[in-house]
Amino acid sequence: MKRTEFKTRGVFLAYDHGLEHGPTDFTDVNVSPRYIIDIARKAEVDALILLKGSAREYYTKDIGIPLILKLNGKTNMYKGEPFSKQNCSVEEAVKLGASAVGYTVYSGSRYEKFMLSEFSRIEEKAHNIGLPVIMWSYPRGKDVHDDESIETVAYAARVAFEMGADIVKLKYPDDDNRLDWVVKAADKTKVFLAGGKKLEDQNIEEHVEKAMQAGFSGMAVGRNIWQSDDPVKRIKRIKDIIKSY
């Protein structure tokens, strides 16, 4: 399948929660990948993030939205030290029409060495065929005491840069006066904000505004969009903020 052109700025719509959290995040409506694809089209998001199951059944290039295929993931039934193994190959992602690939690294976990080396193999393979690589960089595990501190989030940003990621997806840190430090730590890697649990419209827009002011490149968001009553409007508002920078 021919790749759809991929931009490293804007809004990405994330929908890998069926594996990460289970259907508890879903309603009768947003449980269907078709609903999410419909939002993505109407709001003209810059990319759609799927796992291989949804991608295989629902993604086609006619949708006109670039696909980011997430190559690892785990359930939250498992409560031990975080460890997310690769469960889809770069080759399979290409077959499914992906324009980029994604992978979560839980730095600080006792299993980080496995995730870092798996990420590294994926990064080399993907870059060899011109596919951008996105790291979900989420410090987590019993040795990580404050995953939302600015220093931890900046460290997560740097991990992605040093590992060769084109884009890093990060949680919003607790000290938003120092968001520019996160961007500096990421150097050439573009920084995207993750969404988190559903917030009020105003709060999410405030986060995006502050992040963009500090030099972020966009937002990769899931629940705050497809759990909202008016997902398309929410995306459009976020897009307008991003475009104004």
Q: Which residues bind ligand FBP (CB under 6 A)?
A: 14, 16-17, 20, 136, 194-196, 221-224
* 138 catalytic residue (yes or no): yes
Find, among 228, 185, 223, 206, the residue nearest to 13 by Cα.
223
| Of 161 and 226, CB closest to ligand FBP | 226
Question: Which position among 138, 172, 190, 239 bears the catalytic label?
Answer: 138
Q: Which of 169, 171, 190, 239 is catalytic?
A: 169
- Residue at shortest CB range from ligand FBP: 195
Give the Cα separation of 133 and 10 in Å (integer).
16
Q: Which long-range contacts (CB under 8 A, 24 or more apart) does 224-227 make?
A: 224/195, 224/196, 224/197, 224/198, 224/199, 225/13, 225/39, 225/195, 226/13, 226/15, 226/30, 226/35, 226/36, 226/39, 227/25, 227/27, 227/30, 227/198
Comparing CB distances to ligand FBP, the nearer of 109 and 130 is 109
Minimal distance in Å, beta carbon 2 to ligand FBP? 25
Torsion (CA) 143, 193, 44, 224 in degrees, nearest 10: 70
**Smallest distance from ligand FBP to CB 128, Å:** 25
Min separation Cβ 195 and ligand FBP, Å: 2
Closer by beta carbon to ligand FBP, 26 or else 136: 136
Residue with Cβ nearer ligand FBP (128 or 218): 218
Q: CB–CB of 67/97 below 8 Å?
A: yes
Q: How far is the CB of 152 from ligand FBP (least distance, A)?
A: 14
Catalytic status, residue 169? yes
Active site residues: 138, 169
